[in-house]
Amino acid sequence: MSTTTAAPAAPLTTIGTDCSALARGAAILGTGGGGDPYIGRLLAEAAVREHGPVDVVQVEDLPDDAVVLSVAMIGAPTVMVEKLPSSAQFAEAVRSLAAYLGISPTHLACIEVGGVNSTTPIVAAAELGLPLVDGDGMGRAFPEVQMVLPTLSGVRATPMALADEKGNTAVFDTVDNRWAERLARTATVEMGCSAITAQYAMSGAEVKESFVRGSLSLSVRLGETLVAARQRNDDPVEAVVEVLGGTVVFEGKVADVERKTVTGFARGTARVTGTGRDAGQEAVLRFQNEHLLVEVAGEVRTTAPDLIVTLDAETGEPITTEGLRFGARVRIVTAPADDRWHTAAGLTLAGPRYFGYDTVAIRHDGTTSEGETR
């Protein structure tokens, strides 16, 4: 029996060879982005089978002088599906950053809990025999390097290492985290639109200050809740919504999806024709790797930084933006992000205006962030 089948509310202590619940829950928190969770799960499970289980450490249990590196895939999820990373890339990214810093990491972490980036750090942790922190830098997924809560606390993304599947590495050391994004993104595009990165070297004290706590445990709980509800013939979407503290804002059929891969991102729009309670209305999802904005009947209903999640209407399975297909029956769920995202600095970093949408941030419940008027 793997630990991922432990009681829902218990914090994770170890990650075994069954990462299905964690990957499923992380796909929900990934809000459509962060890459294919199935691929991340396979990579993590293979690494655990080869190297043994990964110890999980709660954020509050980290020594203040712990040396924590975050590991992630960077690039377009549409490309990650086609070009699997090798296990050597993870070790190489960590080795490259550790050598540049002249340190030995004591723990690894997820910088974003969404999708593939909740499970890719498991691969690195298993490969290197390091414990993994039960937390992440976002509480969701976002498309750019600087869009993490540690940026709000003044933590530097760089030095930051990239490793591609050919054996190339790059280390960036930048004046701010936005420049880390710019230089890492262009290098990722040149490397073939996806790479493995080690970044945001932090002390245990910095992790305690800036991370979202218990993200991996929450992912497992979400995944287990979804499957358990289905097995009980309960509504899996409602069960997930309850754990998230969210709302079902629309249900319908996907009528149209436009997407293109631009400068390393998968950008697009999906139109959903209402069914049932929403018959006769239309919803529009706008995404850039992740869902960033949902309109219902021509009005903005919710925006980033809050979570916008598309679930299969029947099975409750999360659908990634690249997995959206014509005719799919979906329910669109919104849920609250970490409160720090709703500060002025948080909204500057990852609010709707940053992504090019001319609107104040609308929370999952239809209200606006403090200090903003609609």
* Residues of this chain that bind its own copies (CB under 8 A): 96, 99-100, 166-175, 179, 182-183, 186-187, 189-191
Q: Which residue number, 100 or 265, has a Cβ lying nearer to its own copies?
A: 100
351 vs 62, 147, 341, 348, 368, CA distance in Å?
A: 31, 10, 8, 6, 11
Q: Which residue number, 171 or 360, has a Cβ lying nearer to its own copies?
A: 171
295 vs 27, 29, 48, 149, 372, CA distance in Å?
A: 22, 20, 41, 26, 19
- Least Å distance between CB 183 and its own copies? 6
282 bridge partner residues: 273
- Least Å distance between CB 66 and its own copies? 24
Q: Which residue number, 187 or 196, has a Cβ lying nearer to its own copies?
A: 187
Tell me which residue of 297, 268, 299 sits closest to 285, measured CA to CA: 268
132 bridge partner residues: 56, 108
- Nearest 5°: phi and psi at 80? -55, -35
Residues in the chain: 374
Q: Which residue number, 51 or 182, has a Cβ lying nearer to its own copies?
A: 182
CA distance 267 to 76: 9
Tokens of 153: 């606390």
- Least Å distance between CB 180 and its own copies? 9
DSSP 20: H
Q: Which residue number, 38 or 100, has a Cβ lying nearer to its own copies?
A: 100
User: Which residues have C-beta within 8 Å of that of residue 347, sequence separation ≥ 6?
Assistant: 305, 341, 353, 354, 361, 369, 372
CA distance 128 to 94: 9
- Least Å distance between CB 86 and its own copies? 13
Q: Which residue number, 190 or 256, has a Cβ lying nearer to its own copies?
A: 190
DSSP 188-252: HHHTTSEEEEEEEEEEHHHHHHHSEETHHHHHHHHHHHHHHHHHTTS-HHHHHHHHHT-EEEEEE
- Least Å distance between CB 84 and its own copies? 18
Burial tier of 231 (Cβ tally within 10 Å: 0-12, 13-18, 19+): exposed
- Least Å distance between CB 206 and its own copies? 22
8 Å CB contact between 198 and 96: yes
- Least Å distance between CB 102 and its own copies? 9
- Least Å distance between CB 324 and its own copies? 31
- Nearest 5°: phi and psi at 134? -85, 80
- Least Å distance between CB 159 and its own copies? 9
Q: Which residue number, 103 or 279, has a Cβ lying nearer to its own copies?
A: 103
Q: Which residue number, 159 or 318, has a Cβ lying nearer to its own copies?
A: 159
The label of the residue with tokens 């723990």 reads 107
- Least Å distance between CB 215 and its own copies? 30
Q: Which residue number, 102 or 280, has a Cβ lying nearer to its own copies?
A: 102
Q: Which residue number, 10 or 99, has a Cβ lying nearer to its own copies?
A: 99
CA distance 58 to 351: 29
